[in-house]
A and B are shown apart, each in its own frame.
Chain A
Amino acid sequence: MSVDLSQFLQTFFEESFEGLDIMESGLLELDPQHPDTEVLHTVFRAAHSIKGGAGTFGLSAISDFTHRMETLLDRLRAGEQTVTPEVVSALLSAVDCLRGMLEAIKAEQELDSEALSAAQQALDEQLALRDNGAKGGRPGAEQSAPAGSGGLGRRGANAGSSGSGSAPAGAGPEAGEGEQGGGWHIRFEPEAHLLTTGNDPARLFRALSDLGALTVHCESGELPAFEALDPESCCLSWDLELVTGATEAAVREVFEWVEDDAVIEITPLSGSAAPAAEDHGAAAEPAPESAPVAASATAEVEEGAEAAAAAGAAARPAATASSGGTAAATKSKPAKAGARKEAAKKSSSSIRVDTEKIDVLIDMVGELVITQSMLSQIGKEFSADRLEELQDGLAQLERNTRELQESIMRIRMVPISFAYSRLPRIVHDTSRALGKEVEFTMEGEQTELDKTVMEKIIDPLVHLVRNSVDHGIEDPAERQAAGKPGKGKISIEAYHKGGNIIIEIVDDGRGINRDKLLGKARAAGLVEEGEELSDAEVYDLIFHPGLSTHDEATEYSGRGVGMDVVKRNIRSLSGSLNVRSAPGQGTTITISLPLTLSILDGQLFRVGDQTYIVPLVSVIESLQVDGAKVSGVTGRGEVYHWREAYVPIVRLHELFDTEPMRHELSGGLMVIVEDEETYLGVFVDDLLDQQQVVIKSLEANYLRVPGIAGATILGDGTVALILDIAGLVEMSRGGSRQPLIPEREESDEAA
C-alpha cells in the first residue's frame, strides 16, 4: 500500500508554526531563577512534535535541528542543566531560525544556511556546557536518536537500533554466526502476565512462520489444576524450531516487544547446511549497523531532499492561488514586502472556526430557506389582499439576511491574542539589547476583531511597542534619577467601544518632548514659524516621515519601517491614531480600528447627482445652516460656529469637482462629522437613508483617491462613494486642501 503523505504537509506547517509560538511564549515566560517545569514540558513537547513530523515528511534539516533543541530542553526539564538567560536566548534564536526554515521550505526557497549555522552554534555551545561539566545522564539516548530521526526509517532499521536495549549494535556480534546456521531453536518461556500486555503468543508464532517452516511444541507441565486455573495468566511455555535462513537478529526482532516478559533462548539448529546469503537479504539488512554510518547518513539526506521536493510540489498550487488572490491588495502597498512576509501571508490563509459558530449559521440558512419558500408561495398566487403577508415575509427576509450577515462576520472574528503573540518577544529582545528593564503586560487578549484587520495590525503594533521600549522607557539609571522605579512599564490593552476596537499602548517613560518635537518640525519647515498647534497636532508629528526626537538612530529605531508607515497602515484599515503624552510620566498611544473592513452602517446623502456615504459612527449631528454662524477665516476657508467651536466647512463639490444643486450655505443642510475629536461640517444637498453598505475597494478597482475610503453599490445599482473622514480632516487643515502630511502622489491630481 502506498500512501501519499504530502497532503498532510499543510497541517504540519500550521501546527508547527503554532508550536513555535507556544515555544516562544513559553521561553519568554521562563524565569531563570524559578523555572516552571510545566512550561518546560510544554516547550519540549512542541519541539518534540515538530521533530517527529519533520522526520515523517523527510525534512531532515528540520528534524536534525529540532533534535538539538529537544536534547537541550530535555536536560533543562530533567534538571540536568540549569536554565540561564543564555540558554533561553539560544533557544529563542533557535525558534526564530526554525520558523525561518519552515517558512523557506513552505515557500520553496533556499534555507538561510548562515542563520542556521549561527543558531546551531549557539545551541551547540549550550549543549557543550553540560558535556564539559557533569557528565553522565543518558548518553545512550542522545547517540542513538539522530539515526532514527533522519529520513524515512524502515521498521527493520528501527528495530535493529533499539533491539536489545542498551547497545544499538546488539545485533552485530551474532549476525555472522547466524548466517552459518540453517535455522534456530527457540525456547520461549513467557511470564504469567504476558497476556495482560496485549501480546498474544499466537501472534509471535505467526510472525515466525513468515520467516520459515515452524514447528511448535507446547509444554503444559506448569499448568495448575483446573480449579486453580487463572485464565488471565500464561502458564504455558514453548519449544520452537524454525527452519530458516534468517539471522538471529531477525528472529529476535519478532520477540522485541516481549523480551522483558519472557525467557527467550535462541540457539542454532545443529547439523544444518549454510543457507544462501540472498535468502535472508531482506531480514538481515539492518544488521550492519556500526560500520557504514556515513554512507547511510547520506542516503537519508538524499531521501529527505526528495521527499521535501515532492512535498514542495504539492504545496505549489496553493501558494500560487493565494498569491494571486492577494496580488490586488499588495499592489498598492509600499514595495517593502519581502519574501519572508509573503510566506507569512500564506501561512495564515486558513482560519479556525468554532463549530458552534457554524451551527448557528446552518440554523439561519434553514430559516432563510423557510422564508424563501414562504415568499415564493405568496408570489405564485399573489393578490392585493395578501399584501400584508408579503410585507411580513419581506421583513422576515430582512431579519434573516441581517442575522446571517452578522453570523458570517463573526466567523471572521479572531481574538487579538494572535497579534499580541509576537510582542513579549519584541520587548524582551529590544530591552535586553538596550540595557533597559521593562515589565510588559497585555490585556484584552480575547477581544475579537476581523481577521484581515488583525493581520494588518501586527506590524504596526510591533513597531509601536518597540518604539515604546526604545524611545519611551529610559535607562534604569535615568529612571532612578527621576525618582521612578528602575523597571519601566509598558502595557497594551484592547477593548471594544462602539463599532470600533480600541488598542492602547501605555508606557511610563519620559514622554514626548513637545518643544523639541515642534522645534524640529519648524526646522524642517513642516510647521510655519509662529503657527500654534494643539497638543494632538504636535504629537501627530511623530508620525511624519523623517522626524525623530531621538538624536541618534539606534539599531531598533531605524529598521526601515517608520512611524509614518505605522500611521499609513492604520489609516489603510480606516483606523486612526491618537497620541497623548505627559513629560516624565509617559505616553499613551490609542489606536482605533473598525471591527470589520467589509460592511459599515452609513448615512447616505446627495451632492449634485452623486450619492455619498459617511460612516454613521462619524456623524455627530445634521443641521440646517444658519447663515449668521458662517464666517471666513484667512488661510482656513469657511468655518461654522457650532457648539462654542469653529468647525471647518467642506464643500464636496469643490473637492471632487462636481456641480451641486445648491451653492448657498445659509438654509442648506450640513452634516457634522468627527474624527479623533476633530470636527468637520460637510455641506450637502440632501440627506438620504441610513443603511448598511458593503465596502468595495476603490483602490483595487480604480485608484486611491484622497478623501474617499471606498465605494459601494446601492440597491438601485448605482455606485456611491464612501468618505474617508480622517482624510477629509487632514485635507481641510490649513485650508489648502493639501494634506498636512503628503502621503500619496495622487493627492496632487485630486486637489
Chain B
Amino acid sequence: MVKILAVDDSASMRQMVTYTLKQGGYEVTEAVDGADALAKAKGGQFDLVITDVNMPKMDGITLVRELRALPAFKFTPILLLTTESAPEKKQEGKQAGATGWLVKPFDPDQLINTIKKVVN
C-alpha cells in the first residue's frame, strides 16, 4: 500500500486531505507542522509527502529542505499544497527540492489525480 505523509497545521485541511487519500486507497500519516513531519519521516518510510507551506514551528519549505537531506527522502516526491499563486513561493519550494505543487482551494479529485500520476 502506498504510504503518504500529510502535513498541515489546519485540522480541517488535514482531515480533508486524509479522508480523500484514504478514499483513494492510500495509507496516510498526519503531521501537524514541519517539525512533527520531520520527526515522523525519520521514524518511517513514505512514498510521498504532501505538505502545507505556511505552518508554525517549521514551514513547508524548510521541511522540504530537511527531508531532502535525509537519504531515505532523496528521491521521494514531495508536493506543496499551497494557496500561494505567487511564482516566487513556488520557486522557493522548487529550490528547496519540492517535486511540485498543488494550488488550493483544495479539490479532492485534483489531489487524487495528481497523486496517481506521481506515485504510479
Contacts and interface: CB of A to CB of B under 8 A. Distances in A.
A261 B95 CA distance: 10
Contacts of A261: 94
A196 B68 contact: yes
Most chain A beta carbons < 10 A, residue from B55, B68, B104: B104
B12 A203 contact: no
9 contacts: A1-B108, A7-B19, A9-B12, A12-B12, A148-B104, A158-B85, A195-B75, A196-B68, A203-B120
B87 A166 contact: yes
A198 B104 contact: no
A3 B19 contact: yes
B45 interface: no
A152 B105 CA distance: 6
A407 B110 CA distance: 46
Contacts of B23: 1, 3
A148 B77 contact: no
A145 B86 contact: yes
B82 to A, nearest CB: 9
A55 B100 contact: no
Interface string A139-181: 0110011011101111100110110011000000000000000
B14 to A, nearest CB: 9
A510 interface: no
B3 interface: no
A257 B90 CA distance: 9
Interface string B1-27: 000000001111101100110011000
A290 interface: no
B74 A53 contact: no
Contacts of B87: 140-141, 162, 165-166
Interface string A654-693: 0000000000000000000000000000000000000000
Interface in A62-80: 63
Contacts of B105: 52, 55-56, 58, 63, 148-149, 151-153
A14 to B, nearest CB: 8
A382 interface: no
Contacts of A162: 85, 87, 90, 103
A42 B54 CA distance: 10
Nearest to B91: A260
Interface size class of B (residues with CB under 8 A): 35 or more
Contacts of B85: 141, 144-145, 147-148, 158, 161-162
Contact of B10 (A9, A15, A63): A15
Given A48-B54, A49-B10, A56-B16, A1 B100 contact: no
B114 interface: yes
Given A42-B56, A165-B87, A206-B117, A158 B103 contact: yes
Interface of A: 1-3, 5, 7-9, 11-12, 14-15, 42, 44-45, 48-49, 51-53, 55-56, 58, 63, 138, 140-141, 144-145, 147-149, 151-155, 158-159, 161-162, 165-166, 195-199, 203, 206-207, 232, 256-257, 260-261
B13 A52 contact: yes
Nearest to A148: B85
Nearest to B82: A52
A55 B104 contact: yes
Nearest to B113: A155
A153 B103 contact: yes
Contact of B13 (A56, A148, A161, A166): A56
A496 B72 CA distance: 52
Given A3-B19, A198-B76, A53 B91 contact: no
B69 to A, nearest CB: 11
B107 A152 contact: yes
Given A52-B104, A145-B83, A198-B77, 12 more contacts: A1-B112, A5-B16, A8-B12, A11-B12, A15-B11, A52-B106, A56-B105, A149-B105, A158-B85, A159-B103, A166-B87, A257-B99
Contacts of A161: 85
Contact of B83 (A55, A197, A232): A55
Nearest to A153: B105
A199 B110 contact: no
Given A152-B105, A196-B68, A260-B94, A141 B86 contact: yes
A33 B105 CA distance: 36
Given A45-B9, A154-B110, A256 B86 contact: no
Contacts of A203: 117-118, 120
Interface string B51-64: 00011100000000
Given A55-B83, A260-B94, A197 B20 contact: no
B98 interface: yes
A166 B86 CA distance: 9
B83 A51 contact: yes
B38 to A, nearest CB: 16
Given A49-B54, A154-B107, A158-B103, A196 B94 contact: no
Contact of A155 (B76, B84, B107): B107
A118 B41 CA distance: 47
B88 to A, nearest CB: 7
A57 to B, nearest CB: 8
A5 B111 CA distance: 13
Given A52-B106, A148-B83, A198 B12 contact: no
Nearest to B77: A198
A257 B101 CA distance: 8
Contacts of A166: 87
A197 B104 CA distance: 21
A144 B104 contact: no
A44 B54 CA distance: 9
Contacts of A42: 56
Contacts of A147: 85
The list of the 9 closest CB pairs from A to B, nearest first, reads A198-B99, A55-B105, A257-B100, A141-B86, A3-B108, A12-B12, A198-B77, A158-B103, A11-B12
A11 B15 CA distance: 9
B18 to A, nearest CB: 10
